[in-house]
Amino acid sequence: MSKSTAKGRVYLVGAGPGDPELITWRGLQILGMAEAVCYDALVDPTLIVTLPRDVERHYVGKRAGLHAMPQEQINELLIRLAREGKRVVRLKGGDPFIFGRGGEEALALVEAGIPFEVVPGVTAASAATAYAGMPLTHRGVATWATMLTAHETPNKASQQLPLAELGALPCGTITGYMGISRLESVCRTVMDAGRAGDTPAAVIEWGATPKQRVVRATLATLPEAVEQAGLKPPGLFVIGDTVQLADHLAWYTPGPLADRRILVTRPAHQASRMYEMLRSLGATPIPAPSIQINPVLDEDGLRRFYENRDRGGWIVFTSENGVNMFCAELLEGELDWRALGGFKIAGIGEGTVHALHRAGLKADFHPSRANIATLSTELPAHVAKGDFVVRVRGNLGDEKVERALESAGCDVLPLEVYRTSTAPLSEDVRIWVERRPLDAIAFTSGSTITAYAEQWGYDRAHRMANEAAVFTVGPMTTQIAEAEGYTVAAEADPTSVPGLVQTIRHYFEEQGRPSGIA
C-alpha cells in the first residue's frame, strides 16, 4: 500500500471479555465519538445498538456457516473509512494486542499513513480467572504467569507453543485461549515435561459473563471432566496451584436469570437501563429494538399551542418520548418552563414521570393504573369545561384520550411530536438469535409488537414467540400481543420497565435454572 495523508483516524479499542460493563472508560469515551465502528462477533451487541443512529456499523465477525471476513479485507475497510475522513473505531473482544491481531491491523495502518490509537482492554485471561477466584499470580504459590493460544495456525512450518518448557518450570500459572479442542494434547505435553498429574487445573467457559461455567479438576483428569460437562468454546484453560484458591476466592455466582436469553424490543435510546437491570440478574439481554423514534415538527399544532398558552389548562403526557420531544421543541422555540406556568400536567407511567422529573417538571395527576384506558376514564373528572388541553403524542395509538376530554367539554389540541417506525435489524443480532434459542421476548409497547413481526418476518416472528416466553409491559400491550396470536406468559406488575424485569425474574425463578448452570 502506498503512503498517504488521511484526515481520519482509527482507534483500536479493546471491548473486554464479553460483559459490556467491563469496557474501559477510555474505550467507552472513544466509542461515543465514533463515526464508523467495525466490530467482532464477541463484542456484546448492546455496545453497538445504543450508538447514535448515524454511526456506520460494519460487522466483521464470524457469520453463521461462514468464515470471518479475511484479515486483509478488514485492513482495507479500516483504511478506506479513515481516508474518507471518519473517526473509525475497530472494536475487538478482549485486548487488541493479545491474540486479537491488532498488531497486524496497526501495521497496515502505518503502511497506509493512517494515524491510529490503541485503547487496551481487559483480556480474558485476567478477567475469567478473576471471576473464577483464581489469581494468575500469588505470593508463595505462583511467581509467574503466561498467556498462550492453544490454537496455532495448522500450516505453520513448526509449532511455536513452548508447552514442554513451561511444563518443566515450577511455581507458575499457564493460561490458554481457544484450547478446548486441543485440551487433551496440551495436558499430556505439560505432564510429559514434568508437571505433576495432580496439579490443579480448570477450564472457564464464557468467563466474566452471565454464561460463565467453571470445571475444576487435575491436570490428568481435566479433559475428561470438560467433556462430561459439555463445555464448548470460547473457553480458557488454567493450569497451576492458584486454581485451588477458588475454594476460598470464588466470589462470582450467576444471578436468578443466569444464562436466560431475553430479546429486548425497546427502542435503543431508551433501553440501556433495561439491559443493565437484566444483566444484574444474570440474564443475557439480546438487544433487538423493533422501533425507532424520530422527532417531528407539527407547525400548525405548535402555532396553536403558542397562541393559546396564556389560557393555561392541561398538558397530557403518556410517554417518555413525548416528554423529551416536547421539551426539546419548547426550548428550540426559544421558550422556557415559564410558558407552562398556567398548565397542570397529567402523566402516566414510571418512564414518563422520570422524564418529567429530569426536565424539572412534576405531574399534577396520575391515573390509578398506568394505562390509556384508565387515564381516559379518570382525567375528565379533574378538568373543567372549556379547558385548553394539549395531548402530547406520537403518530401511533388511538384517540381515546382526546375523545374523552372532548366529551367533557375541553378544547383539545392533539400535538404530535414524534413518529414511530420499524427499526432495521442488526445482522449480528440475527446471528446471536440463530446461535441458540431465546428464553423470553419482552415487549414494552404495542408498537414494538407489530414492528417485531415486520423485522423478523411474520412466520419467523411467530415461531420465535411460540418457542419463548412472551412478556408484556401492560394491559394494552397484552391485548395487542394476543391479537397477534402470541401467548403471554406474564404481564408486568407494576406497569413499568422495572416491573417488567421483576415479572420476568419471578417467572423464571419458578421455572428453575437452565441445565448446566451451577
pLDDT for 516: 47
- Fold (CATH) for 126-249: 3.30.950
Question: CA-to-CA distance for 499 and 504, rounded, in angstroms?
Answer: 9
For CATH 3.40.1010.10, list the domain ranges present in the chain: 9-122
| Sign for the pseudo-dihedral over CA of 125, 178, 64, 228 | negative
Note the maximum CA span of the chain: 92
Phi and psi dihedrals of 289, rounded to 5?
Answer: -60, 125
pLDDT for 341: 86
H-helix or E-strand containing 344?
strand 343-347
In 101-171 the beta strands, taken as DSSP E runs, fall at 116-119, 144-149
pLDDT for 236: 95
Pick from 275, 262, 258: which is nearest to 214 by CA? 258
pLDDT for 179: 83
CATH code of 261-290+424-511, in short, is 3.40.50.10090
Phi and psi dihedrals of 261, rounded to 5?
Answer: -100, 115
pLDDT for 50: 86
51-95 residue pLDDT tens: 988 999 999 986 544 556 899 999 999 999 999 999 999 999 999
pLDDT for 428: 78
H-helix or E-strand containing 448?
helix 446-456
H helical segments located in 340-445: 350-358, 372-378, 400-407, 427-435
H helical segments located in 333-423: 350-358, 372-378, 400-407
Question: CA-to-CA distance for 100 and 371, rounded, in angstroms?
Answer: 49
* Ramachandran region, residue 429 (left: φ > 0; alpha: ψ -120 to 50; beta: rest): alpha
93-105 residue pLDDT tens: 999 999 989 999 9
Residue 236 C-beta-side C-alpha neighbours within 13 Å: 28
Amino acid at 305: F
Residue at grid coordinates 479433559: 223
Question: CA-to-CA distance for 477 and 449, rounded, in angstroms?
Answer: 8
pLDDT for 398: 84
The DSSP symbol for 420 reads E
For CATH 3.40.50.10090, list the domain ranges present in the chain: 261-290+424-511, 293-422
Is the domain 9-122 a CATH 3.40.1010.10 member? yes
Question: CA-to-CA distance for 305 and 411, rounded, in angstroms?
Answer: 11
Helix (H, G, I), strand (E, B) or coil at 217: strand
CATH architecture of 293-422: 3-Layer(aba) Sandwich (3.40)
Phi and psi dihedrals of 129, rounded to 5?
Answer: -70, -35
**How far, CA to CA in Å, does 460 sit from each of 63, 66, 261, 456, 467?**
19, 22, 17, 6, 11
Pick from 415, 446, 406: which is nearest to 323 by CA? 415
What positions carry a catalytic annotation? 40, 62
Pick from 303, 306, 255: which is nearest to 283 by CA? 255
pLDDT for 4: 46
Residue at grid coordinates 419458578: 510
Pick from 278, 321, 213: which is nearest to 46 by CA? 278
pLDDT for 61: 82
User: Whole-number mean pLDDT of the chain?
Assistant: 90
Question: CA-to-CA distance for 160 and 410, rounded, in angstroms?
Answer: 81
- Give the residues of the chain that fall short of pLDDT 50: 1-6, 64-65, 153-158, 515-518
pLDDT for 178: 85
**How far, CA to CA in Å, does 235 sit from each of 175, 187, 214, 290?**
10, 15, 9, 32
pLDDT for 518: 44
